[in-house]
Amino acid sequence: MRTRAVDNPAVLETRIKEYEERTKPIVAELEKRGYKINKVNAAAKPFDVFAELKKKLQL
């Protein structure tokens, strides 16, 4: 397994904090307004993530 420069605790903590502060509220507002938000398990293998996205987007 390869590690990346962004795979350290400090960077991950910052990314999670930014998600909670910036992205999560926008997604919640879009859902409240009736937009369909497709969620996938991004922790899965890349092929499985791609397959799930294709299915949800009906491609």
DSSP the chain: ----TT-SHHHHHHHHHHIIIIIHHHHHHHHHTT-------TTS-HHHHHHHHHHHTT-
What does the pLDDT look like over 12-34, one tens digit per residue? 899 999 999 999 999 999 999 99
Q: Which of 2-11, 22-31, 43-52 has the lowest mean pLDDT?
A: 2-11
Band of pLDDT at residue 1, cut at 50, 70 and 90:
low
pTM confidence score:
0.67
